Amino acid sequence: PPPPPPLSLSIYIELKTPWRKFDWGQKEVLKKRLEEFSVSHPDGQIIKILVAGQIGAGKSSFINSVNNVFRGRITSEAIVDQSRGKSFTKSLKSHRVRGADCDLPFVLTDIMGLEPKVLEGSQPEDIISAIFGHVKDEYKFKEEEPLSHKSEDYISDPLLSDQAFCLVYIVDANTIQFASDRLVDKLRIIRIRISDKRIPQVIIMTKVDETCPLVKDDLKKVYNSKRIKEKMHLCSEMIGVPMNCIFPVKNYHDEIELDNDVDVLILKAFEQIVNFADDRLRVAASNSECRQ
């Protein structure tokens, strides 16, 4: 294979002041706030969030990392596969976020990874259907044939609890600049279709420690890294998600103990996701009441 392209010199640049304000001591405050979170609509028992993205970017690892923080230990509810190639996740699978003592009102739903080729990986139509609540949990996707409204697995009249109120794209900071036009087109199709329904969208940019030596040595420098800022701008330009909806994180990967800096980045991103989703759920519930 050809040698990788040379790294930009900006990979070594450390900005004197963080370009995004961030409190590294807020872990316990964030954790408590989320543990005590109440869904804004009285009929809403849970907030469902769909997690999608390119294969190998860390969708399942992000789901586990969220659970790790609240359980206080390493978890593996979402099965992670380290081999490269096809998406390991084949079915729609919902994971309840669990605290140390009780379940929290959040569900993270995992879906087959996106791939560049037209008939491989999850299809944009399947992701769109899953967001709007038309796909049953445990439905096994067919790469060559998106779920049809004629299928017995199709939920024609979904409840609010079937629907996802935020779409989270998991993007690999290492490879985003090499993403094919076809993959980006798939993401844009999804973005346009769900934006019509005002579904909030967030990018979780993973593997920041592998992308910048400064961050690998000290995760607290993630917002001092010019390299990470460049990667986030690239994500924003390619997919169309604004910068304040992009969050760089490090998933748990080879660790066997939790780390406060990893946790606080995960928690802050997750709090924003939950707030965006709860805002949209409240509007959707109000609109549903008006139609009745």
Assigned domain for 287 exists: no
Report if residue 215 sits inside a domain: yes
pLDDT tens digits, 48-99: 999 998 888 899 999 999 999 999 999 887 776 554 554 555 688 999 999 8
Domain count, the chain: 1
Task: Give the pLDDT confidence score for residue 1 in this predicted structure.
Answer: 45
Within-domain flag for 86:
no
Residue 26 exposed, middle or buried by CB count within 10 Å (0-12, 13-18, 19+): middle
Residue 239 lies in a domain: yes
CATH of the domain at 179: 3.40.50.300
180 belongs to a structural domain: yes
Give the span between the Cα atoms of 145 and 147, in whole angstroms: 6
On whether residue 284 sits in a domain, the answer given is no
Q: Is residue 147 part of a domain?
A: no
pTM, 2 dp: 0.89
Q: Domain of residue 23: give its range.
A: 9-37+44-76+103-113+124-140+153-249+258-275
- pLDDT tens digit sequence for 215-274: 999 999 999 999 999 999 999 999 899 999 999 999 998 899 999 999 999 999 999 999
Q: What percent of the chain is predicted at pLDDT more than 70?
A: 86
Q: Which of 106, 98, 102, 112 is nearest to 141 (CA)?
A: 112
Q: What phi and psi values does residue 168 have, to the nearest 5 degrees?
A: -105, 120
Q: Is there a domain that residue 219 lies in? A: yes
